[in-house]
C-alpha cells in the first residue's frame, strides 16, 4: 500500500535575513530588550501594532504568558470565574488555572466555534471571556461582541492559530479589549517560543508592560503609552518577568513581514486537502463561513459516528498520515479535552463531547507541496472506505 513519508511536524528553515539579524544581535552581546539601543523588540512591537491596526503591542516570552498577563492586567485573580471554550488546547484553561482563577467552560458546535447560545446563558457568571479561536476557526464575532457587551463581559482573544486571519474584514485580535498571539514553532511565525499582545487601551498596555518586567525603562516599549499612564500603575503592578529577548525579535521581524505570502501558501495546501477529504466517504470537512478570512495551517474533519474512528486513525498512522483525534479516552501528545484537565472542575458539556468524539485534526506544514497533499488524500480516502463506511 502507498505510504506517506514526510513529517507533519517539520518546519521550514528560518529565513536567511532573520538568521543574519539574530547573529548580529548575538555578536553585539545585547540580548536583553532594555539593554539594546536600538532594540529589535521595540521595533517588532511598532511593526506588529501597525500591521494589525492596534495602538499598543507588548512582546513577551510565550503565548501562554500573554494570556496570563492580559488576565492579570484586567484584574482577574484567585477564584474569579473566567469563561472559555470547552474545546481548546490545554494552555488556555491552564493560563486561567495558573493565576488561581476558575475556568467556566462554554459548549462548542459542529462548526468548532464557541456556542453563542450557551455563551449567552452563562455570560452573567463571569466578567471576562478568554475566547480561543481554536485551530483557526472564527465564530460570528459581531454577534459574540454583542452578547458580551450586553452582559458587561470583557473579551480577551487567544489568537495563537489566527495570526493573519480576520472576521468580516476586522483582524483577529482586534475585536476584544486584548488580543494575544503566539510565536511558538508550530504557529504562523516561528521563534521557538514567544508572544505578542495588542490593545488600544493605554491603561491595559501600561499594566502589561509593567507586568512583563520593564523596571523603570517602560518608555522603551515600542508603542508605550504616555508616562502619566504608567504613573497611575507603577506602584501597584508587580513585575512578573516575561519579556521577549532581542534574538527572538530579530528572528520574527522578517517572518511577520512575509506573513501574507505564507498565508497564501497555507491556504493553497488547505484547499487541496479539503477537496480530497470532501470526497472521502464517512468524513465531513468543517465548512468555513464567507465572512471568515482564515489561515489554513491545519484542517479539521468530522468522522461518521457509526464508523470505526479509532481504527481509521490507527490505519492512517500506520501509513504515515497523522491525525489528532479528540475522542480518545486518554490525552495523547498535544491532544486533550476538558475531561483530561485535572486542574479544571468537571463540567457537563454534552454537545461538545458529541463533537469531540468525531473530531479529527491534521497539521499542514509548509514543507508539504500539492503532490504531498495528493498522497495524503489518497491514503485518507482508502482508509475511510475501510473503516468509516
Instruction: Give domain limits for the chain.
Output: 16-257, 259-387
Give whole-number Cα distances, 299 to 186, 313, 363, 364, 372, in Å.
14, 15, 7, 7, 15
**Contact assessment for residue 212 and residue 242, using Cβ atoms and an 8 Å cutoff:** yes
Helix axes 246-257, 40-52, angle to 10 degrees: 30
Q: Each residue of 287-320: pLDDT tens digit?
A: 999 999 999 999 999 999 999 999 999 999 999 9
- Helix axes of 246-257 and 16-28: crossing angle, nearest 10 degrees: 160
117-160 per-position pLDDT tens digit: 999 999 999 999 999 999 999 999 999 999 999 999 999 999 99
Q: Cell digits for 320?
A: 504515515
Reference 22, options 184, 190, 250; nearest CA is 250
125: which 3 cell numbers?
Answer: 457568571
pLDDT score of 331: 83
pTM of the model: 0.97
CB 150 within 8 A of CB 180: no
Q: Which CATH architecture has domain 259-387?
A: Alpha-Beta Complex (3.90)
**Range 16-257: architecture per CATH:** 3-Layer(aba) Sandwich (3.40)
pLDDT digits (tens, 9 = 90+) for 233-290: 999 999 999 999 999 999 999 999 999 999 999 999 999 999 999 999 999 999 999 9
CB 49 within 8 A of CB 71: no
Amino acid at each position: 500500500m502507498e505510504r506517506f513519508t514526510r513529517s507533519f511536524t517539520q518546519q521550514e528553515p528560518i529565513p536567511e535575513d532573520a538568521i543574519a539579524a539574530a547573529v548580529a544581535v548575538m555578536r553585539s552581546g545585547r540580548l536583553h530588550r532594555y539593554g539594546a539601543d536600538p532594540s529589535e523588540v521595540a521595533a517588532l512591537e511598532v511593526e506588529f501594532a501597525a500591521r494589525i491596526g492596534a495602538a499598543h503591542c507588548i512582546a513577551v516570552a510565550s503565548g501562554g504568558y500573554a494570556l496570563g498577563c492580559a488576565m492579570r492586567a484586567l484584574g482577574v485573580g484567585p477564584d474569579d470565574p473566567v469563561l472559555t471554550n470547552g474545546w481548546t488546547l490545554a494552555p488556555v484553561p491552564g493560563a486561567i488555572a495558573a493565576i488561581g482563577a476558575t475556568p467556566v467552560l462554554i459548549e462548542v458546535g459542529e462548526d468548532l466555534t464557541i456556542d453563542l447560545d450557551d455563551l449567552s446563558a452563562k455570560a452573567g457568571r463571569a466578567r471576562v471571556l478568554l475566547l480561543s479561536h481554536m485551530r483557526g476557526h472564527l465564530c460570528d464575532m459581531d454577534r459574540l461582541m454583542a452578547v458580551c457587551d450586553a452582559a458587561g463581559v470583557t473579551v480577551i482573544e487567544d489568537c495563537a492559530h489566527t495570526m493573519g486571519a480576520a472576521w468580516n474584514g476586522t483582524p483577529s485580535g482586534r475585536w476584544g479589549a486584548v488580543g494575544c498571539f503566539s510565536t511558538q514553532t508550530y504557529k504562523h511565525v516561528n521563534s521557538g517560543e514567544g508572544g505578542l499582545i495588542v490593545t488600544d487601551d493605554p491603561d491595559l498596555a501600561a499594566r502589561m508592560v509593567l507586568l512583563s518586567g520593564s523596571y523603570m525603562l517602560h518608555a522603551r516599549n515600542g508603542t508605550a503609552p504616555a508616562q502619566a499612564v504608567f504613573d497611575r500603575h507603577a506602584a501597584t503592578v508587580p513585575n512578573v518577568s516575561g519579556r521577549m529577548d532581542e534574538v527572538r525579535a530579530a528572528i520574527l521581524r522578517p517572518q511577520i513581514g512575509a506573513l501574507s505570502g505564507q498565508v497564501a501558501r497555507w491556504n493553497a495546501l488547505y484547499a487541496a486537502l479539503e477537496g480530497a477529504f470532501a470526497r472521502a466517504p464517512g468524513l465531513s470537512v468543517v465548512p468555513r463561513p464567507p465572512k471568515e478570512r482564515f489561515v489554513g495551517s491545519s484542517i479539521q474533519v468530522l468522522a461518521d459516528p457509526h464508523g470505526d474512528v479509532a481504527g481509521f486513525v490507527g490505519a492512517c498512522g500506520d501509513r504515515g498520515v497523522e491525525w489528532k483525534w479528540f475522542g480518545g479516552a486518554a490525552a495523547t501528545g498535544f491532544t486533550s479535552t476538558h475531561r483530561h484537565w485535572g486542574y479544571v472542575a468537571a463540567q457537563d458539556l454534552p454537545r461538545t463531547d458529541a463533537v469531540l468524539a468525531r473530531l479529527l485534526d491534521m497539521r499542514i506544514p509548509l514543507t508539504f507541496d500539492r503532490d504531498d497533499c495528493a498522497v495524503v488524500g489518497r491514503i485518507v480516502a482508502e482508509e475511510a472506505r475501510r473503516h468509516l463506511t
